[in-house]
Structure 1
Amino acid sequence: MADNATAGSTAQNSDLRNGVTHIVWDWNGTLLNDTDANLASVNRLCAEFGRDPVDLDYWRSIFRRPLIPCYEELLGRPLTDGDWQRIDTTYHDHYKGLLPSCDLADGVLEVLRAWNAGGGTQSLLSMASHDHLVPLIADRGLTEHFTRVDGRRYDAEHDSKAEHLVEHLRAQDADPAATVLIGDIDDDAHAATAAGAHAILVATGMMSRTRLEATGHPVAETPAEAVAMLYR
């Protein structure tokens, strides 16, 4: 990636691919390296439902939104409302216990600082609960890097980030055409397309690189590489 001085000069001269000046970051699997915690939590609920544990490659091969069909495939049967509540509670209780052990992805702080120093702006949008997300970002000292931090405030009809992204950009009066969403699953790409924004996907989270490449959007190995792709 370009060093801070180069990044600053580039952004200030608007020498950016597609005129992108604003980044919307995803959180889980993108800025936060929580893949192991996610898999451990999935396997905790597998045990709860009498299913054999799965490995990361398998989970990356089936994970998707909407979540209910995904978990129905995992568990091999339709889910009742009571099943879904049990899954939600089991997963999140275990995940929250592991969360303190999750680090930021490599180079994240440097990337966030460099983008701001170069005159760009950035915000954070996650499908994690808003009330859970906001204090977590504050506790890690990251709030100052973002113009806005939004988690999921309601359940969208199609369990997609698309509707949330449109509102997230509107609340900031951000131009979608000058925005890139950097995330780790194909729903991030779908959301960006629906909102009229660009997307770069990182192969660090819950989907395999093959599935990410199938979206037709650029795929990076790290958040730092994703930002480097924004420069001509």
Structure 2
Amino acid sequence: MAHNAFERLTGIKHIVWDWNGTLLDDNHANLAALNQVCVEFGRPRVDLEYWRSVFRRPLVECYEELLERSFADGEWPRINEIYDRHYLSEVPGCGLAEGVPDVLHRWAAFGGTQSLLSMASHAHVNELVAERGLGGHFARVDGRRFGTVSDSKADHLAAHLEELGADPASVVLIGDIDDDARAARAAGASAILVESGLMNRRRLEATGHPVVSTPAEAVRLLGA
């Protein structure tokens, strides 16, 4: 279902933005880090379209499928170390997504508030947001601050909204994967999904939520 099949979302006062793949254009950094994992575990490299067709949470299950094996003790932490090291070496070259930060200014001028929630580490996200001069746009910036059994954003979003004192019915989460949609639904919030990140449009549309090409299109759906 294309985004133009959806009417504008009404009653939204607050946007919770995802970071990676939504406001930050970091697909090439993700792919470079992923392929280093593949190399070190003896699997051929993959291309972005393949990864966008299979990426999902929980990440452990996704990577076990990718590498066609179950992980022994200590291997998942090793994968995370390899990935993080190579991602961090690539991320300085990552730009902001199309229309960012203009879209943040536009939503504020429309009278809305906004915050940021990422499943990347809390310290890392805050550092990157500050480096790019975006911190002043957000009422709150949260990364991953605690572990969850399901590896989903749902519990993090509930905690984020509680800290903000926000009414979920007036909130939309704008992200790039189906877990963003699941988290919003669990919290009682709305969701808009951007096809610029780690899931292809077909998979995003299967959630039943509006799917757009850019953050600016997402904000237009809100009437701004």
Q: TM-score w.r.t. structure 1 length? A: 0.92
CA drift of 1:36 comes to 0.8
| Structure 2, gaps ≥5 residues long | 1-7
Separation (CA, whole Å) in 1 of partners of 2:109 and 2:120: 28
Once the two structures are superposed, the pairs formed by residues 51-70 of structure 1 within 5 Å of their partners are 51-70=43-62
Which residue of 2 is the match for residue 184 of structure 1? 176
Which residue of 2 is the match for residue 78 of structure 1? 70
CA drift of 1:18 comes to 2.4
Which residue of 2 is the match for residue 217 of structure 1? 209
Once the two structures are superposed, the pairs formed by residues 159-198 of structure 1 within 5 Å of their partners are 159-198=151-190
Which residue of 2 is the match for residue 135 of structure 1? 127
Which residue of 2 is the match for residue 10 of structure 1? none
Separation (CA, whole Å) in 2 of partners of 1:76 and 1:165: 32
The farther-off stretch of 127-136 and 143-152 is 127-136
Separation (CA, whole Å) in 2 of partners of 1:81 and 1:69: 15
Separation (CA, whole Å) in 2 of partners of 1:63 and 1:117: 35
2:39 to 44, 47, 51: 47
Separation (CA, whole Å) in 1 of partners of 2:158 and 2:67: 33
- Structure 1 runs, 4 residues or longer, greater than 3 Å off: none
Separation (CA, whole Å) in 2 of partners of 1:28 and 1:80: 29
1:159 corresponds to which letter in structure 2? D
Separation (CA, whole Å) in 2 of partners of 1:85 and 1:177: 37
Secondary structure (helix, strand or coil) at the match of 2:10 reads helix
CA drift of 1:20 comes to 0.3
Q: Aligned-residue CA RMSD in angstroms?
A: 1.0
CA drift of 1:58 comes to 1.0
Separation (CA, whole Å) in 2 of partners of 1:138 and 1:80: 37
Would you say how many aligned residue pairs link Structure 1 and Structure 2? 217
Which residue of 2 is the match for residue 230 of structure 1? 222
The share of aligned pairs that are identical, in percent, is 63
Separation (CA, whole Å) in 2 of partners of 1:40 and 1:131: 22
CA drift of 1:80 comes to 2.1
Secondary structure (helix, strand or coil) at the match of 1:19 reads coil
Separation (CA, whole Å) in 1 of partners of 2:109 and 2:118: 24
| Structure 1, gaps ≥5 residues long | 1-15
Separation (CA, whole Å) in 2 of partners of 1:81 and 1:57: 30
